[in-house]
Amino acid sequence: MARVTLRTIADKVGVSRMTVSNAFSRPDQLSPALRDRILTAAEELGYVGPDPSARALARGTTGAVGVLLTESLRLAFTDEVATGFLSAVADALAPTGLALTLLTGSSDHGAVIPARDVAIDGALVYSCDADSPGTAWLIRRNLPLVFVDQVPAAGRSSVNIDDRGGARAAAQHLVDLGHHRIAIITSDIHGPYGLLDDLGRSGRGRVAKERVLGWLDALESAGIRPVVVREPTYSPEADRAAAALLLDADQPPTAILCHSDAIAQSVVTTAQDRGLRVPEDLSVVGFDDSPLAARMRPALTTIRQDLQDKGRAAIAALTAQLDPAHADDPPSAIVLPTQLIVRESTAKPA
Protein backbone atom coordinates (compact mmCIF):
# COMPACT_ATOMS: atom_id res chain seq x y z
CA MET A 1 0.00 0.00 0.00
CA ALA A 2 1.38 3.41 -1.00
CA ARG A 3 2.39 5.76 1.82
CA VAL A 4 -0.24 8.41 2.56
CA THR A 5 1.15 11.94 2.72
CA LEU A 6 -0.22 15.45 3.01
CA ARG A 7 -0.08 15.66 -0.77
CA THR A 8 -2.23 12.52 -1.06
CA ILE A 9 -4.92 14.14 1.09
CA ALA A 10 -4.62 17.48 -0.70
CA ASP A 11 -5.20 15.82 -4.08
CA LYS A 12 -8.24 13.95 -2.75
CA VAL A 13 -9.87 17.07 -1.27
CA GLY A 14 -8.75 19.44 -4.00
CA VAL A 15 -6.80 21.87 -1.82
CA SER A 16 -3.16 22.79 -1.36
CA ARG A 17 -0.72 20.79 0.73
CA MET A 18 -0.37 23.83 3.07
CA THR A 19 -4.12 23.86 3.66
CA VAL A 20 -3.98 20.20 4.71
CA SER A 21 -1.02 20.96 6.98
CA ASN A 22 -2.98 23.79 8.59
CA ALA A 23 -5.87 21.43 9.28
CA PHE A 24 -3.57 19.55 11.66
CA SER A 25 -1.24 22.24 12.99
CA ARG A 26 -3.15 25.56 12.66
CA PRO A 27 -6.88 24.75 12.74
CA ASP A 28 -7.79 28.37 13.43
CA GLN A 29 -6.72 29.20 9.86
CA LEU A 30 -9.52 27.07 8.34
CA SER A 31 -13.27 27.10 8.45
CA PRO A 32 -14.76 24.25 10.53
CA ALA A 33 -16.42 22.78 7.44
CA LEU A 34 -13.20 22.67 5.41
CA ARG A 35 -11.21 21.20 8.30
CA ASP A 36 -13.86 18.49 8.76
CA ARG A 37 -13.60 17.60 5.04
CA ILE A 38 -9.83 17.30 5.29
CA LEU A 39 -9.87 15.23 8.48
CA THR A 40 -12.54 12.95 7.05
CA ALA A 41 -10.45 12.37 3.93
CA ALA A 42 -7.38 11.71 6.04
CA GLU A 43 -9.26 9.13 8.09
CA GLU A 44 -10.56 7.42 4.96
CA LEU A 45 -7.02 7.21 3.61
CA GLY A 46 -5.68 5.87 6.92
CA TYR A 47 -3.58 8.96 7.74
CA VAL A 48 -3.26 9.56 11.49
CA GLY A 49 -1.54 12.94 11.32
CA PRO A 50 1.98 14.38 11.28
CA ASP A 51 4.54 12.68 13.48
CA PRO A 52 4.68 14.81 16.65
CA SER A 53 8.40 14.27 17.24
CA ALA A 54 9.32 15.17 13.67
CA ARG A 55 7.08 18.24 13.71
CA ALA A 56 8.55 19.45 17.01
CA LEU A 57 12.09 18.92 15.72
CA ALA A 58 11.37 20.80 12.51
CA ARG A 59 9.73 23.74 14.25
CA GLY A 60 11.89 23.84 17.32
CA THR A 61 8.68 23.78 19.41
CA THR A 62 6.68 21.14 21.26
CA GLY A 63 3.16 22.29 20.47
CA ALA A 64 2.26 22.16 24.18
CA VAL A 65 1.89 24.67 26.99
CA GLY A 66 1.76 23.97 30.71
CA VAL A 67 -0.30 25.10 33.66
CA LEU A 68 1.62 25.06 36.93
CA LEU A 69 -0.82 24.46 39.79
CA THR A 70 -0.70 25.62 43.37
CA GLU A 71 0.02 22.37 45.19
CA SER A 72 -0.87 19.22 43.29
CA LEU A 73 -2.84 17.87 40.35
CA ARG A 74 -5.64 17.03 42.81
CA LEU A 75 -6.56 20.72 42.83
CA ALA A 76 -7.40 20.51 39.13
CA PHE A 77 -10.18 18.02 39.80
CA THR A 78 -11.57 19.02 43.22
CA ASP A 79 -11.62 22.84 43.42
CA GLU A 80 -14.48 24.36 41.41
CA VAL A 81 -12.67 27.64 40.83
CA ALA A 82 -9.58 25.82 39.55
CA THR A 83 -11.63 23.52 37.34
CA GLY A 84 -13.56 26.49 35.95
CA PHE A 85 -10.33 28.29 35.13
CA LEU A 86 -8.77 25.20 33.52
CA SER A 87 -11.92 24.65 31.47
CA ALA A 88 -11.67 28.21 30.18
CA VAL A 89 -7.98 27.69 29.37
CA ALA A 90 -8.79 24.52 27.43
CA ASP A 91 -11.53 26.33 25.47
CA ALA A 92 -9.17 29.18 24.62
CA LEU A 93 -6.44 26.76 23.53
CA ALA A 94 -8.70 24.71 21.25
CA PRO A 95 -8.44 26.98 18.16
CA THR A 96 -4.63 27.25 18.49
CA GLY A 97 -3.84 23.55 18.14
CA LEU A 98 -1.68 23.71 21.28
CA ALA A 99 -1.92 20.87 23.79
CA LEU A 100 -2.34 21.44 27.54
CA THR A 101 0.00 19.86 30.08
CA LEU A 102 -0.74 20.02 33.83
CA LEU A 103 2.31 20.61 36.03
CA THR A 104 2.79 20.55 39.77
CA GLY A 105 4.62 23.12 41.82
CA SER A 106 5.43 20.69 44.61
CA SER A 107 8.47 18.50 45.12
CA ASP A 108 8.78 14.81 45.88
CA HIS A 109 11.64 13.98 48.26
CA GLY A 110 13.53 16.98 46.94
CA ALA A 111 13.09 16.11 43.26
CA VAL A 112 11.10 18.69 41.30
CA ILE A 113 8.25 17.12 39.34
CA PRO A 114 7.72 17.73 36.49
CA ALA A 115 8.23 21.46 35.77
CA ARG A 116 11.98 21.01 35.33
CA ASP A 117 11.90 18.37 32.60
CA VAL A 118 8.55 18.37 30.79
CA ALA A 119 8.68 19.53 27.17
CA ILE A 120 6.55 22.69 26.77
CA ASP A 121 6.78 25.96 24.86
CA GLY A 122 5.48 28.14 27.71
CA ALA A 123 3.30 28.01 30.81
CA LEU A 124 0.69 29.66 32.98
CA VAL A 125 1.78 29.87 36.62
CA TYR A 126 -1.52 29.65 38.49
CA SER A 127 -1.72 30.85 42.10
CA CYS A 128 1.68 29.41 43.08
CA ASP A 129 4.14 30.28 45.79
CA ALA A 130 6.75 32.53 44.20
CA ASP A 131 9.41 30.48 45.99
CA SER A 132 8.11 27.07 44.86
CA PRO A 133 10.62 24.79 43.08
CA GLY A 134 8.33 24.48 40.07
CA THR A 135 8.07 28.25 39.60
CA ALA A 136 11.83 28.63 40.00
CA TRP A 137 12.55 26.02 37.36
CA LEU A 138 10.20 27.54 34.80
CA ILE A 139 11.86 30.93 35.28
CA ARG A 140 15.33 29.37 35.00
CA ARG A 141 14.30 27.68 31.75
CA ASN A 142 13.48 31.16 30.40
CA LEU A 143 10.15 29.99 29.01
CA PRO A 144 7.35 32.39 28.08
CA LEU A 145 5.27 32.64 31.27
CA VAL A 146 2.06 34.31 32.41
CA PHE A 147 1.40 34.58 36.15
CA VAL A 148 -2.26 34.21 37.13
CA ASP A 149 -3.71 35.20 40.53
CA GLN A 150 -0.36 36.31 41.88
CA VAL A 151 2.40 38.88 41.65
CA PRO A 152 4.45 38.12 38.53
CA ALA A 153 8.16 37.57 38.43
CA ALA A 154 10.12 40.56 37.18
CA GLY A 155 9.54 41.25 33.51
CA ARG A 156 6.71 38.70 33.19
CA SER A 157 3.09 39.14 32.16
CA SER A 158 0.23 38.66 34.60
CA VAL A 159 -3.54 38.23 34.73
CA ASN A 160 -5.31 39.06 37.99
CA ILE A 161 -8.77 40.08 39.10
CA ASP A 162 -9.67 43.16 41.10
CA ASP A 163 -9.54 41.29 44.41
CA ARG A 164 -9.30 44.46 46.47
CA GLY A 165 -12.23 46.16 44.76
CA GLY A 166 -14.38 43.05 45.07
CA ALA A 167 -13.60 42.63 48.75
CA ARG A 168 -14.32 46.31 49.36
CA ALA A 169 -17.76 45.91 47.75
CA ALA A 170 -18.50 42.84 49.89
CA ALA A 171 -17.60 44.61 53.13
CA GLN A 172 -19.49 47.77 52.15
CA HIS A 173 -22.58 45.63 51.53
CA LEU A 174 -22.49 44.46 55.16
CA VAL A 175 -21.85 47.97 56.44
CA ASP A 176 -24.82 49.28 54.44
CA LEU A 177 -27.01 46.56 55.98
CA GLY A 178 -26.10 47.88 59.43
CA HIS A 179 -23.62 45.27 60.68
CA HIS A 180 -20.98 46.35 63.19
CA ARG A 181 -19.65 43.03 64.59
CA ILE A 182 -18.00 41.71 61.46
CA ALA A 183 -15.36 38.97 61.18
CA ILE A 184 -13.05 37.87 58.37
CA ILE A 185 -11.76 34.39 57.54
CA THR A 186 -8.81 34.53 55.18
CA SER A 187 -6.40 31.95 53.78
CA ASP A 188 -2.64 32.30 53.81
CA ILE A 189 -0.61 29.11 53.87
CA HIS A 190 2.41 31.05 55.16
CA GLY A 191 0.74 32.45 58.25
CA PRO A 192 -0.09 31.06 61.68
CA TYR A 193 -3.52 29.70 62.50
CA GLY A 194 -5.82 31.78 64.65
CA LEU A 195 -6.75 35.36 65.47
CA LEU A 196 -4.58 38.15 64.08
CA ASP A 197 -3.58 41.35 65.79
CA ASP A 198 -2.24 42.96 62.60
CA LEU A 199 -5.52 42.43 60.70
CA GLY A 200 -3.76 40.21 58.19
CA ARG A 201 -1.72 42.86 56.41
CA SER A 202 1.40 40.69 56.60
CA GLY A 203 0.00 37.90 54.41
CA ARG A 204 2.37 36.92 51.59
CA GLY A 205 -0.06 35.68 48.97
CA ARG A 206 -1.30 38.40 46.60
CA VAL A 207 -4.91 37.24 46.55
CA ALA A 208 -5.19 36.90 50.33
CA LYS A 209 -3.48 40.24 50.94
CA GLU A 210 -5.55 42.16 48.38
CA ARG A 211 -8.82 40.77 49.69
CA VAL A 212 -7.97 41.64 53.28
CA LEU A 213 -6.98 45.15 52.26
CA GLY A 214 -10.24 45.56 50.35
CA TRP A 215 -12.34 44.44 53.31
CA LEU A 216 -10.43 46.83 55.57
CA ASP A 217 -10.91 49.74 53.14
CA ALA A 218 -14.66 49.63 53.77
CA LEU A 219 -14.68 48.50 57.40
CA GLU A 220 -12.11 50.94 58.74
CA SER A 221 -13.79 53.81 56.89
CA ALA A 222 -16.95 52.89 58.83
CA GLY A 223 -15.05 52.78 62.12
CA ILE A 224 -15.33 48.98 62.37
CA ARG A 225 -12.41 46.89 63.59
CA PRO A 226 -13.08 43.33 62.43
CA VAL A 227 -11.92 40.12 64.01
CA VAL A 228 -9.64 38.34 61.52
CA VAL A 229 -8.87 34.61 61.44
CA ARG A 230 -6.16 33.25 59.19
CA GLU A 231 -6.16 29.56 58.36
CA PRO A 232 -2.95 28.07 56.96
CA THR A 233 -4.44 25.15 55.03
CA TYR A 234 -7.09 24.66 52.39
CA SER A 235 -9.45 22.09 53.89
CA PRO A 236 -13.04 21.83 55.15
CA GLU A 237 -11.68 20.93 58.59
CA ALA A 238 -9.68 24.17 58.78
CA ASP A 239 -12.70 26.14 57.53
CA ARG A 240 -14.98 24.69 60.22
CA ALA A 241 -12.36 25.28 62.92
CA ALA A 242 -12.08 28.93 61.91
CA ALA A 243 -15.86 29.31 61.93
CA ALA A 244 -16.13 27.66 65.35
CA LEU A 245 -13.46 29.98 66.76
CA LEU A 246 -15.63 32.96 65.82
CA LEU A 247 -19.10 31.60 66.56
CA ASP A 248 -18.16 30.26 70.01
CA ALA A 249 -16.73 33.59 71.16
CA ASP A 250 -18.38 35.59 73.97
CA GLN A 251 -19.48 38.17 71.43
CA PRO A 252 -19.86 36.33 68.12
CA PRO A 253 -20.03 38.34 64.90
CA THR A 254 -23.30 39.08 63.15
CA ALA A 255 -21.59 38.78 59.77
CA ILE A 256 -18.55 36.95 58.35
CA LEU A 257 -16.59 37.78 55.21
CA CYS A 258 -14.94 34.69 53.68
CA HIS A 259 -11.92 34.35 51.41
CA SER A 260 -13.81 31.88 49.20
CA ASP A 261 -17.21 30.32 48.60
CA ALA A 262 -15.88 27.01 49.94
CA ILE A 263 -15.01 28.64 53.27
CA ALA A 264 -18.42 30.32 53.31
CA GLN A 265 -20.13 26.96 52.93
CA SER A 266 -18.27 25.64 55.98
CA VAL A 267 -19.23 28.76 57.93
CA VAL A 268 -22.92 28.30 57.07
CA THR A 269 -22.81 24.60 58.00
CA THR A 270 -21.05 25.32 61.29
CA ALA A 271 -23.55 28.04 62.15
CA GLN A 272 -26.53 25.82 61.36
CA ASP A 273 -25.05 23.02 63.49
CA ARG A 274 -25.15 25.50 66.38
CA GLY A 275 -28.79 26.34 65.78
CA LEU A 276 -28.08 29.69 64.14
CA ARG A 277 -30.13 30.89 61.18
CA VAL A 278 -28.54 32.34 58.06
CA PRO A 279 -29.11 35.20 57.41
CA GLU A 280 -31.41 36.04 60.36
CA ASP A 281 -28.71 35.41 63.01
CA LEU A 282 -25.59 35.49 60.84
CA SER A 283 -24.87 36.98 57.44
CA VAL A 284 -22.20 35.26 55.32
CA VAL A 285 -20.41 36.54 52.20
CA GLY A 286 -18.17 34.42 49.97
CA PHE A 287 -15.83 35.21 47.11
CA ASP A 288 -15.51 33.85 43.52
CA ASP A 289 -19.16 33.04 42.66
CA SER A 290 -18.25 29.42 41.96
CA PRO A 291 -21.10 27.01 41.06
CA LEU A 292 -21.23 26.17 44.77
CA ALA A 293 -22.56 29.65 45.63
CA ALA A 294 -25.85 29.18 43.77
CA ARG A 295 -26.28 25.59 45.04
CA MET A 296 -26.01 26.53 48.71
CA ARG A 297 -29.08 26.93 50.91
CA PRO A 298 -29.47 29.76 51.49
CA ALA A 299 -27.91 30.83 48.19
CA LEU A 300 -24.67 32.66 48.87
CA THR A 301 -24.00 36.38 48.52
CA THR A 302 -20.55 36.55 46.95
CA ILE A 303 -18.14 38.37 44.65
CA ARG A 304 -18.15 37.17 41.06
CA GLN A 305 -15.01 36.76 39.02
CA ASP A 306 -15.37 35.74 35.37
CA LEU A 307 -13.29 32.57 35.02
CA GLN A 308 -13.94 32.40 31.28
CA ASP A 309 -12.52 35.89 30.80
CA LYS A 310 -9.55 35.04 32.99
CA GLY A 311 -8.77 31.87 31.05
CA ARG A 312 -9.07 33.65 27.70
CA ALA A 313 -6.90 36.56 28.85
CA ALA A 314 -4.22 34.22 30.19
CA ILE A 315 -4.00 32.22 26.96
CA ALA A 316 -4.04 35.37 24.83
CA ALA A 317 -1.12 36.77 26.84
CA LEU A 318 0.80 33.49 26.55
CA THR A 319 0.21 32.89 22.83
CA ALA A 320 1.27 36.48 22.12
CA GLN A 321 4.64 35.65 23.67
CA LEU A 322 4.90 32.50 21.54
CA ASP A 323 4.43 34.56 18.37
CA PRO A 324 7.86 35.70 17.08
CA ALA A 325 6.26 38.91 15.81
CA HIS A 326 5.56 39.92 19.44
CA ALA A 327 8.78 38.66 20.97
CA ASP A 328 9.91 42.18 21.94
CA ASP A 329 6.55 43.39 23.28
CA PRO A 330 6.60 44.59 26.91
CA PRO A 331 4.94 42.35 29.52
CA SER A 332 1.23 42.91 30.06
CA ALA A 333 -0.49 43.37 33.43
CA ILE A 334 -4.19 42.61 33.07
CA VAL A 335 -6.64 43.23 35.93
CA LEU A 336 -10.18 41.95 35.34
CA PRO A 337 -13.26 43.42 37.11
CA THR A 338 -15.30 41.77 39.86
CA GLN A 339 -18.98 42.15 40.78
CA LEU A 340 -21.01 41.89 43.99
CA ILE A 341 -23.78 39.28 43.66
CA VAL A 342 -26.39 39.64 46.42
CA ARG A 343 -28.34 36.49 47.22
CA GLU A 344 -30.04 35.08 50.31
CA SER A 345 -27.20 34.69 52.83
CA THR A 346 -27.09 38.34 53.91
CA ALA A 347 -29.64 40.54 55.71
CA LYS A 348 -29.88 43.31 58.27
CA PRO A 349 -28.62 42.24 61.73
CA ALA A 350 -31.27 41.06 64.16
pLDDT in tens, 57-75: 455 567 889 999 865 566 6
Domains detected in the chain: 6-50 (1.10.260.40), 64-161+307-338 (3.40.50.2300), 163-305 (3.40.50.2300)
> Poorest-confidence range of 147-161, 183-197, 324-338?
183-197
Q: Give pTM, 2 decimals.
A: 0.79
pLDDT digit string, tens, across residues 228-271: 888 766 778 888 999 999 999 999 999 999 999 999 999 999 99
Q: Specify the pLDDT at position 109.
A: 41
Q: How far apart are CA 334 and CA 203, in angstroms?
A: 22
Q: Give yes or no for residue 183 having a pLDDT over 90.
A: yes
Of 112-116, 135-139, 153-157, 336-340, the poorest mean pLDDT is in: 112-116
Q: Vertex 313, ends 301 and 341: CA angle to 5°?
A: 10
The predicted model gives 129-144 an average pLDDT of: 84
Between 85-94, 203-212, 237-246, 269-278, the lowest mean confidence (pLDDT) is in 203-212
Confidence (pLDDT) at 105? 62
The stretch 333-343 carries a mean pLDDT of 97
- Per-residue pLDDT averaged across 334-348, rounded? 98
